[in-house]
Amino acid sequence: MRLRDLGEFGFINRIAAAIAEQPTVPIGIGDDAAAVEPAPGHLALVTSDMLVEGVHFDLTLTDPLRLGRKSLAVNLSDLAAMGAKPRYYLLSLAVPQQLELAFLDRFMHGMMERADQFGVTLIGGDTCSSKGGLAISVTAIGEQLPGRVVGRSGAQPGDLVFVTGTLGDSALGLELLRQGEREGLAVSRHLDPEPRVAAGIALAEAGLATSMIDVSDGLLADLGHILEKSAVGARLDLASLPLSDQYRKDVSSFTEDFFALALGGGEDYELVFTAPPLLRERVFSCLDSCGVAVAVIGEITAGDGLAIIAADGSAYQPRRTGYNHFT
């Protein structure tokens, strides 16, 4: 069966039938707008991301289940970067009429798997036909107490720069996919990233992070947003970058610059954040309780600009600083 056989409203009803009722959603899918009940005293944090076929994903390299999981994960990562607890999401799809319903069913199954993992409820959205490829737009809504929200503007000179997990695996995974690989850590990191929701909430609620962002466009680009908003500079130590065993083994097959994918590859969806040196051990303890590895990769400095220092003490000049849609 194809989508044209079911029709727009039949497709919407098919999705709605799979959504469990939630007491905090008095009006869900089926009306012109949804109604939700925020927790008392909390701020609502809202984020939106669009994934477009041919730009963000290639249907010859991914499958609908993991595409559904990733489509929600990238939004949950934005909420995690502000310490927000994810609550709801809206989904809008522009779908080619010839797309098979089985594909959309698997896509929605993957998205709802990810939603169930983090207790997030689908409350609405929109559908339309596409004369081009598939386009996916997700808006996610989270909550947090006002004093616990972490932005990009709080970094101070002397703060340490931390990052969760490992860097560069997603960009390496994309290169491997293009070479025919379909399995392995790096491929999984690209097709099915795990948002650091628990880590972001834990850092915010413990009051440890002075600023935070997720690595979506690349470490240098995203750390640069913190530096700009905080009006500070930073020193980054290349030798301290956390890199997976697969990255160390395979990256030289795709670039002469060993650090290029880790610094500018993007889509790792790890958290980069700053915290005072006195809180270093508390940061490690906090994230250990979440089962998330963390590394210190540099320090915030006065002034502006980012200095990248190689292991021998020399200055490193990056070949790429991150992804920009329009350049």
The reported pTM is 0.92
Give yes or no for residue 18 having a pLDDT over 60.
yes
Residue % of the chain over a pLDDT of 90: 81
Mean of per-residue pLDDT scores for the chain = 93
**CA torsion, ordered 158, 45, 146, 288, to nearest 10 deg:** -50
Q: What is residue 53's DSSP assignment? A: B
CB 275 within 8 A of CB 283: yes
Which helix (DSSP H) or strand (DSSP E) does residue 298 occupy? strand 294-301
Q: What is the pLDDT of residues 231-287, one digit of tens each?
A: 999 999 999 999 999 999 999 999 999 999 999 999 999 999 999 999 999 999 999
The amino acid that residue 16 corresponds to is A
For residue 56, give Cα distances in angstroms to 46, 51, 137, 178.
21, 5, 12, 14
Mean pLDDT value of segment 132-160:
97
DSSP bridge pairs for 273? 162, 212
Given a contact cutoff of 8 angstroms between Cβ atoms, the answer to whether 232 and 300 are in contact is: yes
| Type of residue found at 266 | G
Q: 87: which residues sit within 8 A by CB, 6+ positions away?
A: 24, 36, 38, 119, 120, 121, 141, 142, 143
Q: What would the pLDDT profile of 70-86 be if each residue is shown by its tens digit?
A: 999 999 999 999 999 99
What is the structure's pLDDT at 323? 60
Q: CATH code for 150-309?
A: 3.90.650.10
- Pairing of β 121-130 and β 85-96: parallel
| Per-residue confidence (pLDDT) for residue 9, from 0 to 100 | 64
β pairing state of 233-237 and 160-164? unpaired
Which of 15, 82, 6, 7 is closest to 44 using CA atoms? Answer: 82
Closest CA to 5 of 113, 104, 115, 71: 104
Closest CA to 170 of 82, 293, 263: 263
pLDDT at 326 over 50: no
- Residues carrying CATH 3.90.650.10, the chain: 150-309
Residue 22: per-residue pLDDT: 77
**Which has the closest alpha carbon to 172: 262, 269, 238?**
262
| Strand partners of residue 162 | 273, 296
CATH code matching the domain that covers 3-147, chosen among 1.10.10.10, 3.40.190.10, 3.30.70.580, 3.30.1330.10: 3.30.1330.10
Burial 172-211 (b: 16+ CB within 10 A, else e): bbbbbbeeeeeeebbbebbbbbbbbbebbbbbbebebbbb
Asked if 114 and 77 touch (Cβ cutoff 8 Å), the reply is no
- Range list for CATH 3.30.1330.10 in the chain: 3-147
* CA contacts within 13 A on the Cβ side of 87: 21
Place of tokens 């984020």: 47
